[in-house]
Amino acid sequence: MKKTMVELFAGVGGFRLGLEPHGWKTVWANQWEPSTRIQHAYEVYVANFGSKNASNEDINLVDKSTIPDHTLLVGGFPCQDYSVARTKAEGIQGKKGVLWWSIRDTLEAKKPPFFLLENVDRLIKSPAKQRGRDFAVMMRTLHDLGYAMEWRVINAADYGFPQRRRRVFMFGYHKTTDYYKSVIERDAVELIKKDGFFAPTFPVTDPREDQKRLVTVSINEKEYHDLVAVSDLFALRFENAGVMMNGYITTMRIEAKKKKPTTLREILVDDVDEKFYINGGDSRLERLKAMKGAKKEKRVSSSGFEYLYSEGGMSYPDKLDKPARTILTSESSINRSTHIIEDPKTKRMRLLTPLECERLNGFPDNWTQPKKCSVDITDKKRYFFMGNALVVGLIDEMARRVQ
């Protein structure tokens, strides 16, 4: 099999960094940030990889038939509302601008044997008023295109990485592939626990029977006439692992067989610029301390209903002998989720640096500030890139399974 891949929603290239060392060749990549005049992520991408086969066009407007043939489609796409409706012409249409449909259109046009996708873990629970609907719409779409899929919510820290970052990964394979033919007769539970795509690389413990929360349901044409019926009627609490094959979904809760994690202390920079320190007496310190404390307070909803809002406390400062909390796109601002540490060398309080955030995601040092970039990249942008990025080491591990 030729190892050719297309990277959608490429960001600053996390998938590419994880896959190319294993022989994958990127034949096309697309990165487009809507409502942004300067395409900073794209400029970082081409500064590091070159502009050959790189696209900076709204993916919704790209003619998918013009995308080069490939054997693996990858991408980390936004969590959005995937509801669909029937049009006046009795066709089916999803909401405009929802980027899932560009993935769907690419799969339909190019029919790659495999795909590997990433999203925030709340995808499998969305929306709140109809749990699991969005994920089900995606899986029915894939079923209609002839694909099967395995998914797993993975916390990077569980497998030795220095950040507690939970993301859902989806590996799909077309019915024409040898991989599909090799697993179609296997038990779905065994695929989840030991024989499938994820389990050999990210092993799990065997939970007690009363802890498995095992559910199998149909999502095929016999149960739901079309995608609209799925969107209107489907609801299920999806667990953190599962398989969709031949229109049947099996989902169960699993627990990671954890490895010794890398700690926050191990990735810290020795010599830190003064701008990242917060001196004693700075109001930001008091604000951070207050934000991270536990609280209970009365609030009033928009309808006038009064309720008690409670919030647990967070470590202040962040503990250096544990993996870091999840990096968010707001890391550059002073908010509850901002990391604040006591520097082990100076014993002063400071923020994480952009380089440290790169290390937490497994990117090379200063990847988001390449020397030959055509635009200036601020620290704020570098934090933003890492808040959107994935853990490269996880993709590196998965690449060993896609052969």
Active site residues: 79
Instruction: Look at phi and psi of residue 144 and say left if phi exceeds 0, alpha if psi is from -120 to 50, else beta.
Output: alpha
Helix (H, G, I), strand (E, B) or coil at 167: strand
Nearest to 374 by CA among 9, 14, 77, 54: 54
- Kindly report whether the peptide bond that precedes residue 127 is cis, defined as omega within 30 degrees of 0: yes
The alpha-helical segments, DSSP class H, found in 129-213 are 133-144, 178-183, 188-190
Name the pairing type of β-strands 349-351 and 72-76: unpaired
Given a contact cutoff of 8 angstroms between Cβ atoms, the answer to whether 391 and 163 are in contact is yes
Nearest to 32 by CA among 71, 68, 78: 78
Q: For the chain, report the end-to-end CA distance as a whole number of angstroms.
A: 8
Adjacent-strand bridge partners of 217: 249
- Kindly report whether the peptide bond that precedes residue 317 is cis, defined as omega within 30 degrees of 0: yes
Instruction: Look at phi and psi of residue 209 and say left if phi exceeds 0, alpha if psi is from -120 to 50, else beta.
Output: alpha
Rounded Cα–Cα distance for residues 164 and 25 (Å): 30
